[in-house]
Structure 1
């Protein structure tokens, strides 16, 4: 069965725009740009060019090997700090348990109360009971050490975020003695937090810290990844954050 990460990589390969330029770190790897749906507020003077079939092209170039090796992060973050963060994740049993509550950006405070026993099934006709049962099974599988990716797809208000957080809460509690880390990131909240940090020099490395954390945790939830904010006027940068965080995540 194809993993979600592999599926995203295959999707991105179809959107690759060769640049004819090569990475300075990996001279044999050609840098790529990517085509994506056009922004609703697209301005050709600000947001770059379009493909012949109407897709917007990222202004940022990417090297697949640099992303896998975390080179983008290491350019702006000291090696010692990176090692300290990695050591914290690897060596602190209860430090890892606390990551979910201390580092997550859920967007809605109500999600902290999301548990399986607080999920309300609104309609049997929408297969909500089946979805709920599958979510509980997914949580059990993660607890048992199985490795796979999960995607919740559906309209707004169907409980996708609730069930995703419920899975994390269940897994985090069950594996708190096993140095297992969980993290919940709402993509809009992540973008807002990073952009706000640009106004403060003492937080200038927040983007690198957050993307590193997202890469290193054992179980990561990205919430609302398909929202319009992903393709806003800052889409090239946002997609770069997603690329560094998700496509290079080990799970």
Structure 2
């Protein structure tokens, strides 16, 4: 489940958005403001936990490396759509620093989304339809809490899918993207709970000091409530 939002940032105007990203190679102000809950990896969710929303379609990600790339593309669509909606109308009380950080993240996610779409070409899945009805975009806590969930889930997803990639070039690119997603996750956690150690909490880092890795099936179960389409990832990496 995932979609392009109908905002000025989620489609079109890609060249200007990429230019903005090129001017901002790193996130600014990685030491600001606020925290929320832990990542909700819904491993073992049943089909009835998040039933397909009426009007949604089943989207098959495919198999092999194409399936893995479409899996990443689906997740990047979700993140790009979420941050486009956040930036289109910031929550009440957002500081200039928070606006700058969230805008940077939006720009990064748009580039990631468009990269996968271009790389996949005719093998790319369609533009998915997000379902953000459960998120109060006027609430700082709700927005940053959702951002934390999406970023932590994204890092775990890339880590879990890496072993399924057969082409070393794709693996290298995935490694570069997941490092950016981890930066996003860290700065969001710092906004939620400033000057704490939560940026590398034990809910996301294991006893060996490694980021957790989660299989595609569990990630798709975790995010399906945020997408109107039913995503079929049964053959990802096979």
Q: Who wins on radius of gyration, i.e. which is larger?
A: 1
Question: TM-score normalized by structure 1?
Answer: 0.28
Higher strand share: 1
Question: TM-score normalized by structure 2?
Answer: 0.29
Taking CA–CA contacts closer than 8 Å with sequence separation of 6 or more, which of the two structures ends up with the larger relative contact order?
Answer: 2
